[in-house]
Amino acid sequence: MNPPAQLHAAGQSLWLDNITRDLLDSGTLSRYIADLSVTGLTSNPTIYDKAIGGSAAYDDAVSSAARRGLSAEATFFELALDDLVRAADLFRPVFDRTLGVDGFVSLEVSPLLAYDAAATAAEAARLHAAGGRPNLFIKIPGTPEGLPAIEDSIAAGVPINVTLLFSPAQYLACMDAYTRGVERRVAAGLPPYVPSVASFFVSRWDAAIAAKVPAELKNGLGLAIGAKAYADYRAYFGSDRWGFLLNEGARPQRLLFASTGTKDPAASDVLYISGLAAPYTVNTMPEDTLHAFADHGAVPSLLSPDPAGADAALSAYAAAGIDIDALGHELQVKGAESFVGSWNSLIARIEAKATVVA
C-alpha cells in the first residue's frame, strides 16, 4: 500500500490543488485517481492564471469565446466549468459511493464580489447551476463579509467550499455560519444535508513568523494551528446543538487542510501532509507535494481530538510574541488581496490571449 493509499485508509481524503486542461487531456488526473487515491480537487484564480498563460490548450476555446463576444470574465467561467465538469465526472463514482461525502471539485466566485454578500450568494447559485453537477463546490471566502453569503448559500442548498480560513476564531465563525444555514433548512422542512468543506490554511503561518521566532519554533506553527482546528472541529460537531441536527439527517461540514505545500526548502516537503493526518478530513495539496508524498511520505500518527497538545504548542508561540488572532486577521486580509491580484492578472491574461488568438 503506497503512502497516499495509507492516508486514505486512515480516513483522510487526498485532493489535488490544481487543474489544467492538459491534466485532463493527458489522462494524468485519471491516473492520480487510480494510483494515488486522489478523490477530489480544488482550483483558484492563481491556478487558472498559470494554466491559461502557460499552455496553448485553451487557445481555441478563448478564440471561440472572443468570436461570440464574451467578456474575459464570462470566458474564464466557461473555460473553468468545461474543465471542472470533466473532472467532476471522473470523481462521480467516489461521490456516489460515499453518498455525497467525497468526490468534489471546486470553483471560486469572483473575489471582486468579496464585500457584497447578496451578490456573492447569487453568483454561487448561478455557477453551481451552470455546472450542472452535484459534486461541484463553489468557493466563498470565510471573511466577515463572506459569512452571510455562506449561510444563505447553505440554506439555499448550494454546496460551498469556504476558503481563506486561518485562525481558530475565523474557523468557529465559519462553522456557525454553516450551522445556521442547516438550521434554516431544518426549520423549513428541507433536506438538511448540504455538502460543505471549511478550507483551513496552514503553511502561510510558518512563512509569516520565520524571522520572528527562535529556531526551535520554526515550521511548527502551521501544524499546531492545524491540530487546534481539528480539535475544535471534533468538539463543535460533537455538541448537543449538532446532536439534534444529526438526528434530522444533517452532516458536519468537513475540515479541509489547505496551503499544504511546504514553503521552507529546509523543511520536509511533506511536513503538512504527514503531520495533519486525521479521519473525516481532507488535505488538498499541490501536484509536486502529492508526488513527494507518494515517493517518501508516511503516516506516523493521527491528530488527536484532545486540544491539550495544540493549546500547549500555541502557548509557546504566544510566549514568543505571536498574536494568533491578529496574525490570522492579517493573513486573511493578505490572502484576499492576493486572490484579487490573481483574478485581475487572470482577466488581463484572457484579454491578451483573446487578442492574439483572434
The strand ranges marked E within the chain are 12-16, 38-41, 105-108, 136-141, 160-165, 196-201, 254-258, 281-285
Hey, what's the cell of 203?
A: 503553511
With residues binned 3-state (H G I as helix, E B as strand, rest as coil), the percentages for the chain, rounded to 5, are 55, 10, 30
Q: By three-state DSSP, how is residue 165 classified?
A: strand
Instruction: Answer for the pair 302, 277: CB distance below 8 angstroms, yes or no.
Output: yes
How far apart are the C-alpha atoms of 36 and 14, rounded to whole Å? 9
**Contact predicate 117/87, CB 8 Å:** no
Distances (CA, A) of 307 to 74, 104, 227, 248: 45, 29, 8, 28
Active site residues: 139
DSSP letter (8 states) at residue 109: P
Question: Rounded to the nearest 5°, which phi and psi values hold at 348?
Answer: -65, -40
Strand ranges (E), 24-64: 38-41
Q: CA 208 to CA 206: how far, in whole Å?
A: 5
Residue carrying the nine cell digits 485508509: 9
**How far apart (Å, rounded) are the C-alpha atoms in residues 237 and 255?**
11
Q: Measure Cα distances from 125 to 36, 99, 218 in Å.
A: 32, 22, 42
